Amino acid sequence: MDRTSGEGQLTAESPADSNPDEQANDLVARSRAVGDVSFAAVVDDAELPRILWAAPDGLEIAGQGIATHITATGPDRFDRLQAQAEQVFDTLEYDGPAVARPRAFGGFSFHDGHEPTPPWTGFDAASFVVPRAFVTRTERDGVWLTVVSDSAGDADDVLERWDDQLTEGPTMCSSGSGPGVGSTHRTTSPSAWASQIEHALDRIENDRLVKVVLAQALSVDLEAPVDVPETLERLRRRYPNCYRFLVGQRDGGTFFGAPPERLVSKHGADVETEALAGSAPRGETPESDDEYADRMFDDEKLQHEHDLVVRAIREQLDSLARELTIDDRRIRKLATIQHLQTPITATLERDRHVLELVEALHPTPAVGGVPPDRAWETIRETETFDRGWYAAPIGWFDGDGDGEFAVGLRSAVASGDTATLFAGNGIVADSDPDEEWEEVELKFRPILDELRDR
């Protein structure tokens, strides 16, 4: 049952026998409106399963504990996960407001053959939880507390206790400072990187590969354990128009990030996605900033790379949609980097689960390549580290099959006083290893800057 520790931290165990993987009873959810609360207080215990999701449109959710846990592996993991989820939600009792409804949160590994080895201990190939307790906030609906249990009586009792604890707790979290970086080590040396790109270019020339995204990992030794919720709060202030997520597993570390890219969102028949590919640094003055943006529009390599992503998304959605609209290309400006962006919307031909769209779109050419099978093969034989959940779908879905997913970029997995950061770049026919190295370094910065003690 839920309890409060001696230090006053909010903690939540799973209902029934506290083993969500053996949960057999139907679930019951109860919600109530609450005052403004600290979402960080809900996810500040790194030893508990926890989730945090914040979207640019203002939806914020923070949860703790596990009411039920859904996992799947193998090439059919999307179908198996959807089938399990439908069984859970079909028998879940909830009559509260839609904004506070139970949802399943989690993500997928980039490769379907992923094995959860360090630093990805606890992160299965597909893993989602319905949190035991969570708070939801939107500008229109305010803040709601929801508890999910295996009985109505227990849900009511736990809801009352959590309401009291949240009311007595802080409403703000400290922005703080980073833990400090002791040392860093790239998994790929400059010479190895050049060899990897040469191998990719050889395949592009001789093996009908058009584009492949190659990535690197950056191992970071920290001067103290990282406070992930505080790090995300600092990322919110610096990158307010990006997603923010945190997934802390029962056994293992915490995967977190501030990705700029939406993979897909679905509400009813309406679908939104985007192409985000091609990047440049921000300028130190408005004039130099505009110059970088203009160069992206004039750069044939970047335009070609972006066109590949737009074309692939259109092809992936074409069989699922009765209407599809590709908006005008634009510049997406972030604090340290700017990207070419093309918003894409669609209306589905028939009712589908958001996981079907996630499967159809993952991986986009922005994180995989073109064509996907040859790109995946090249990534597997070239990269020397495990991508895990990096560059893979991270998000949520509900009992109606609606949901939203981001691409797990600008991300890291942290455990104790170590963190592993990830970044990659699209390689096309005229890619230059030195330029690609510098661009990857630029993409490490959002997380690395917040880990430094400033």
CA angle 55, 376, 104 (to 5 degrees): 30
Exactly one of 13, 230, 261, 436 is catalytic; which is it?
261
Distance CA 413, CA 110 (A): 14
Work out whether the CA dihedral 442, 444, 446, 448 comes out positive or negative.
negative
CA Rg value for the chain: 22
Q: Which of 281, 236, 116, 224 has its CA nearest to residue 451?
A: 224
Q: Would you call 211 a catalytic residue per the annotation? A: yes
CA-nearest of 320, 261, 333, 336 to 290 is 333
- Written as six digits, the tokens of 154 are 């227990």
User: Omega into 116 within 30° of 0, i.e. cis?
Assistant: no
Cα gap 203→429, rounded to integer Å: 10
d(C-alpha 254, C-alpha 245), whole Å: 10
Half-sphere exposure of 270 (CA within 13 A, CB side): 1
Q: Which two tokens stand for residue 323?
A: 């209407």
What six digits make up the tokens of 328?
């005008």
* Residues whose CB falls within 8 Å of the CB of residue 260, separated by 6 or more in sequence, listed in order: 239, 241, 242, 243, 276, 332, 334, 339, 409, 410
What are 402's two structure tokens?
Answer: 């609606």
Q: Is the dihedral of CA 441, 445, 447, 448 positive or negative?
A: positive
The counts of H helices and E strands in the chain are 10, 24
DSSP state of 303: H
Q: Beta-strand (E) ranges in 188-261?
A: 211-222, 244-248, 254-257
Q: What are residue 134's DSSP bridge partners? A: 63, 146
CA 39 to chain centre: 18
- Is residue 148 a contact partner of residue 155, using CB atoms and an 8 Å limit? yes
Options 211, 233, 305, 439, the catalytic residue? 211
Question: Bridge-partner residues for 144, per DSSP?
Answer: 33, 136
Could you please report the per-residue DSSP string of 257-306? E----EEEEEETTEEEEEEEEEEEEPPSSHHHHHHHHHHHHH-HHHHHHH
The answer to whether residue 443 is catalytic is no
* Closest C-alpha to 393, from 381, 403, 408: 408
Q: Which residues are catalytic?
A: 211, 261
